[in-house]
Amino acid sequence: MSDLIRVEPVALLPTPAGCAVFLGDGSKVIVFYIDPAIGASINAVLSKTPSPRPLSHDLFAQTLDAFGAEVLHATILKYEAEVFYARLVVVAENEIMEKKIVELDARPSDCLALVVRHGAPFFVIREVWEGLEDMTEALEALRNQDDPLEGFGV
């Protein structure tokens, strides 16, 4: 696992076009942009705000639970032409089947929405991580602005 960097959500901030997701490992922060609905879904879980009705990610997480499956981890594998590519790893084991591990192609935003619901780790391949710009200073500048972003940070 030395070729993987474990990251955590550091902040989710609204933007004019959606939501900026900042992921960090304690020494570096990266950012990617997602749909505002997925940002709200992730933020609700991180802020422990219950939804009056299950959101799409809640439904998928509940379906996994119903079939004896859980999210093991997610990993960002590639960054190409300003697009991140990720994989979600799920393990299932129940009374009608033996243990099965499935790796699914998924958007990093969907991966993040599911790992926060299952308490699973989120990784970035070291080579990808090292090639990405550190956005720590940009995040601090955004946090220090007198902008009504309260309630959207993690």
Q: Where are the domains of the chain?
A: 4-144
Place of tokens 């942009």: 33
Residue 23 has pLDDT above 60, yes or no: yes
Name the residue with tokens 């299950």.
54
Q: Which two tokens stand for residue 137?
A: 């200073």
Confidence bin at 149 (pLDDT 50/70/90)? very low
Q: What's the CATH superfamily of 4-144?
A: Bifunctional nuclease domain (3.10.690.10)
Distances in Å between the Cα of 27 and the Cα atoms of 10, 73, 78, 80, 94 are 11, 21, 21, 23, 40
52 or 22: whose pLDDT is higher? 22
Would you state the structure tokens that stand for residue 139, as one six-digit string?
């995040």
Kindly state the average pLDDT of the residues 55-80: 93
122-141 tens-digit pLDDT: 999 999 999 999 999 999 98
Bigger pLDDT: 146 or 48? 48
Say what the alpha-carbon torsion angle 5, 9, 11, 17 is, to the nearest 10 degrees.
90
Report the sign of the C-alpha dihedral through residues 63, 67, 72, 73, in that order. negative
Backbone angles phi, psi at 138, to 5 degrees: -65, -40
- pTM value is 0.86
pLDDT, tens only, 97-120 = 788 999 999 999 999 999 999 999
Cα–Cα distance for residue pair 143/64, rounded to 1 Å: 36
Predicted confidence band of residue 146 (pLDDT cuts 50, 70, 90): low
Q: Which residues contact 49 (CB under 8 A, 6 or more apart)?
A: 43
Q: Name the pLDDT band for 1 (thresholds 50, 70, 90).
A: low
**pLDDT (mean) for 5-27:** 93
Cβ pair 152, 139 in contact under 8 A: no
Specify whether the CB–CB gap between 57 and 114 falls below 8 A. Answer: yes
Q: Mean pLDDT, the chain, as a whole number?
A: 90
Predicted confidence band at 3 (pLDDT cuts at 50, 70, 90)?
very high
